[in-house]
Structure 1
Amino acid sequence: MKVLLGDVCERGSSNLKQSDVISCIGDYPIYGAAGYIGNVDFYQQDKEYIAVVKDGAGIGRVMLLPENSSVIGTMQYLLPKENVLPKYLYYVVRHMHLEKYYTGATIPHIYFKDYKNEEFNLSSMEEQKRIVAILQLIENIIDARKQQLIKLEDLIKARFVEMFGDILCNDKGWPIYALDAISSSRLGKMLDAKRNTEKNSFPYLANFNVQWFEFDLSALHEMDFTDAEREEFSLKDGDLLITEGGEVGRCARRC
């Protein structure tokens, strides 16, 4: 059955600031855009819920958070209704890539009123449980593979030191350059959905398209580019893209 996101959850807000809670102590966890902050002596939600980063870096990032916990004001609560499992809703919202709704040139924001009409398939409760179990198994496999990749990366670093020495100590006398001496950097064009006319639309790469060492081109969005902007922001061979939101530092290079 096709439903809208607004049919299966309610929006909740928080006015808590990280500076207000960083020194608190208690039994109840509180979370921010980067994850767990600490424990406090109160909580705002008594049931499992979804939290979405709505302001600043990492907008659109989705978390499934436990009962008896809270988030700070840069986050937004999505409170599941009785017709949806929290974890099923988590997978659904994560797949929606809500960052595409951001507005604002300096500090990006996303608003529930803009993305609440996202449509998806709402299965029966039994089917939701089955789907969640399958996706959880897949996530476990992915997590195990990530641990393998970490071990392989450590191996590569060890082999690098064997071949070229310790760069920090420069024990083999290699010439050392500052990064800005051998490269230049720039930000991509900021998307402002309210100003997008769709008259000169072209595909662009968002954070979720940049994976580790490769580009995921299965879902490309479009926005307006002038001829000058196309020239300025077009990727050239050898360009390295590094994400500033989501999993910060993830990178891929155009070959």
Structure 2
Amino acid sequence: MIIAQMTDIHIGFDREARPEELNRQRFRAVLNRLLKQPNVPDMLICSGDITDRGDAESFARTAELLVDLPFPVHVMVGNHDSRDGLLTAFPHTLRGDDGFLHAAFERDGLLVVLLDTLEPGRHGGAFCDKRRDWLRGVLEANRGTPTVIFMHHPPVVSGIQWMDPRADEAWITNLASALEGMGQVQAIHCGHLHRQLAASFCGIPVSVTPSVAPLVSLDLRPISPDVPDSRALITTEPPSYALHHWDGARLVTHYETVSDWQVLAYYGPHLQPMIREMEREKT
């Protein structure tokens, strides 16, 4: 099974742009690549910040590009989104009975958990007691099932200070308590940071998929809210997406940036001896 992930699309950042805003152009480019690359996804997860302002028009403009995809699409909420706007544009969104847009479903022996980390009016993450208890209940009921968790906000400190939470924030503590002793969780995949990241949380691998929208600059120096030092914050690095490959026993993640490139080698008869030799070594 292949799970594609896109994150931080931010449609509506520049709604007046003509003929089409940059973020929508980047979104089209990633969708086109996803459909043309050789690995057919079984589903697409859009892990939050679908829009930049949570408005109905931006959600609708996103939905129209996703409606005809040949695989299911699961849309999650990020801090720039609104739950009502998302549900209007994507009425079949999975949700809990408590008003949060979280869900869990099994596919090919893998439990996929989608978390809601939105607190309206707050840039950073949220994970209240209700969400903690919901997640704990799901994991308790599925201890024997390999699990992957998707959430918008990474529960780790990246070193990009202006984007980071504090390590001791209450929502992170709540998440940790829900995950305690849950060894079936194989990975946590996030967005929000607008850069690729690999870390761990509660002994679980944590990865951040880079954004579709422009990326956050990689600058690990301390930043002062009192001293605007002219550092780069946002760059035009190419958009990215992830493919999470589940083979029934192992979960592996691949990332691809979307830009123009040339193929330097094709698998033809001239390279067949090399492929044969590499496969022979595995026997």
Report the TM-score when normalising by structure 1: 0.26
Q: Which has the higher contact order (CA 8 A, sep 6+)?
A: 2
Structure with more of its chain in helix, by fraction: 1
TM-score of the superposed pair, with normalisation by structure 2? 0.24
